[in-house]
Amino acid sequence: MNIQIDWKPDKSSQVPVYKQIVEYISQRIGQGEWPIGTRLPSQRAMAERFEVNRSTITSAIEELTSYGIIAGKHGAGTQVISNTWSLMLPVTQDWNRFISNGFFEANNRVVQTINNMEFAPDILRLGTGELDHHLFDKKQWKKVLRSVSSKIDSLGYLEPLGLLELRQALAKHLQKQGMDVSPKQILITSGALQALQLISSSLLQQGTTVFTEEQSYLKSLQMFQSTGMNLSGVPMDDEGLQYWKIPVKKRENSILYTIPTNQNPTGITMSEKRRHDLLDFCDKNGLPVIEDGAYQELLYDQETTKPLQVIDDNGMVIYLGSASKTLAPGLRLGWLIAPEPIVQRLGDVKMQMDYGASSLSQWALTEFLNSGAYDENLASLKEELKSRRDNALRVLDEHFKDIATWKKPAGGFYIWLTFNDKINVEKLFKVAVKKHVLLNPGDIYGFKQNRSLRISFAYLNKMQFELAIGILSGIVRGKLWKK
């Protein structure tokens, strides 16, 4: 492709000339005029066209290369290699102004009540996103921690990307899901939620549109809204997000956040065909993707569905993983997988935020992975969750078959229950709390009012679940929520 350059930097501007050239090239790539694979003119030719010296061009090329936007190809000159996430690095936010100003908006009343009531005594948590504490294997943990204590010499600060041994262990573990990544592409975070905070505060510009499923975990958070983003819901069907309904204009300031496997809160798992079609759509429209893989490993029967990251050929997907749903939320460990320049930049921001995730937790997760204990725990957990899911479906069928609908999830924690008739779910929530049942109303996950509940079978044991559903059934059928 013979590219045209009809622009020259403003040498009277306070912005350094090489920075202007970086921005110009980034814009051409971002607007789709110079697609991936485009070969740039030689540095000598660019210096002539921009009317600058070679050293200025060299500085611009080095910066663009460090962002992962372009790269030298042997025998093919310098080519464009990325046209999504890497383009955001030249205009990285001054994230400190968000942090220092305390940018988080308050959660709505229902979410605040849920957060407070989860620790109340004798409460039956019917919608919580946490594993049953009784599934915590004390013997296994004691064994792991004894082994860790004999291997570590100190618990000092770790390098910006996280413990190297953990990133190596994760890279090996993720191969089972089809991910071919190096430790340099992995950033250890203090939970997957922190990865979202890093992206929103240091990669995205204010006013960015974040597309997500119409019912989404993201909607229950104020984080993206607090940093000036605009959330936009996209409808779903049984195969997942209906990407063709994303009202995106090519190369506009927008991204997609999705949970394609065991989606939270609906439990839907995106089909293989939908995954490929979605990525084709995103590639054509220059729409970067955040893939939340928190429940990726919790499919019960079928072979592991490939993450979007695996079928992504153009570096469009940033993948988020977590140990919270498969091992223990108290570890506060997650990971982010992205092109190396993105990981390096986010790692630098993370060091300025908290100077790294817990050293002890990182060593413990490393031992779990390397010893095989993680895989053993995962296998037994999936068996237990499958049994609880089947019990939950039976109990729901007994109590709500004639007044509500739901789908059988292939894995994860959740069943999305929708009442047939209009019901004030917020009033239902308040009455249920008085009867010691804590619900997660569907409204907190949606972009418009609904009559749904996120039902979790992961926290309560079978007897407790049946008790909670019985109480809820009595409230609904007795129309106590109307009083």
With beta carbons less than 8 A apart as the criterion, state whether 456 and 126 touch.
yes
Distance CA 427, CA 483 (A): 9
Q: How many C-beta atoms lie closer than 10 Å to residue 381's C-beta?
A: 19
Distance CA 319, CA 338 (A): 7
pLDDT at residue number 302:
67
Q: What's phi and psi for 280, nearest 5 deg?
A: -60, -45
List the CATH code of the domain at 137-371.
3.40.640.10
- Return residue ranges of the chain for CATH 1.10.10.10: 17-83
pLDDT at residue number 404:
96
pLDDT at residue number 103:
45
Topology (CATH level 3) of domain 17-83:
Arc Repressor Mutant, subunit A (1.10.10)
| Structural tokens at position 459 | 């926290």
Give the SS3 label for residue 150.
Answer: coil
Domain 109-134+376-482 belongs in CATH node 3.90.1150.10: yes
Contacts with 433 (C-beta within 8 Å, 6 or more apart), sequence order:
113, 117, 439
pLDDT at residue number 124:
96
| Structural tokens at position 221 | 């958070």
Distance CA 260, CA 236 (A): 11
Q: What is the pLDDT along the chain (483 residues), one digit of tens a residue?
A: 678 888 999 999 988 899 999 999 998 988 888 999 899 999 999 999 999 999 999 999 998 998 889 998 766 689 999 888 888 887 655 545 444 444 445 456 788 888 888 888 899 999 999 999 998 888 888 998 888 888 787 777 788 899 999 999 999 999 999 999 999 999 999 988 889 988 888 888 888 899 999 999 877 677 777 777 888 999 999 999 999 999 987 667 899 999 999 999 999 999 999 999 999 999 999 899 999 999 999 999 867 789 999 999 888 999 999 999 999 888 889 999 999 999 998 998 888 888 788 888 999 999 999 999 999 999 999 999 999 999 999 999 999 999 999 999 999 999 999 999 888 888 999 999 999 999 999 989 988 888 999 999 999 999 999 999 999 999 999 888 776
Q: What's phi and psi for 408, nearest 5 deg?
A: -80, 115
Give the SS3 label for residue 188.
Answer: strand
pLDDT at residue number 46:
92
- Return residue ranges of the chain for CATH 3.40.640.10: 137-371
With beta carbons less than 8 A apart as the criterion, state whether 410 and 301 touch.
yes
DSSP state of 106: P
Distance CA 129, CA 457 (A): 9
Give the SS3 label for residue 418.
Answer: strand
Strand order in the sheet with 230-234: 186-189, 334-337, 317-322, 289-292, 254-258, 209-213, 230-234
pLDDT at residue number 439:
95
Task: Give the CA-trace dihedral at 271, 273, 279, 282, to 10 degrees.
Answer: -90
- Look-up of token digits 């990971």: 335
pLDDT at residue number 293:
96
| Structural tokens at position 446 | 């949606």
For residue 67, which amino acid is it?
Answer: Y
Distance CA 454, CA 207 (A): 30
Strands 124-125 and 437-438: parallel
- Return residue ranges of the chain for CATH 3.90.1150.10: 109-134+376-482
Task: Give the CA-trace dihedral at 350, 353, 355, 356, to 10 degrees.
Answer: -50
With beta carbons less than 8 A apart as the criterion, state whether 34 and 3 touch.
yes
Q: Is 251 exposed, middle or buried (0-12, 13-18, 19+ CB in 10 A)?
A: middle
Selection from 429, 444, 438, 425 nearest residue 465 by Cα:
438
| Structural tokens at position 192 | 């997957």
Q: How many C-beta atoms lie closer than 10 Å to residue 119's C-beta?
A: 8
Distance CA 164, CA 183 (A): 7
Selection from 432, 193, 445, 236 nearest residue 323 by Cα:
193
pLDDT at residue number 301:
84
DSSP state of 253: S
Compute the Cα dihedral for 162, 166, 169, 170 and give only its sign.
negative
Distance CA 258, CA 277 (A): 14
pLDDT at residue number 216:
92
Q: Where are the alpha helices (DSSP H) in 73-191?
A: 96-100, 109-117, 138-149, 164-174
Selection from 235, 262, 265 nearest residue 114 by Cα:
265
Give kind and range of the element (H or E) at residue 400. Answer: helix 373-400
Q: Is 80 exposed, middle or buried (0-12, 13-18, 19+ CB in 10 A)?
A: buried
Distance CA 128, CA 439 (A): 8
Per-position DSSP letters for 274-315, written without gaps between them: HHHHHHHHHHHHT--EEEE-TTTT-B-SSPPPPPHHHH-SSS
Give the SS3 label for residue 387.
Answer: helix
Angle at 68 between CA 66 and CA 74, to 5 degrees: 95
Q: Is 81 exposed, middle or buried (0-12, 13-18, 19+ CB in 10 A)?
A: buried
Distance CA 206, CA 328 (A): 34
Q: Is 466 exposed, middle or buried (0-12, 13-18, 19+ CB in 10 A)?
A: middle
pTM reported for the whole predicted model: 0.89
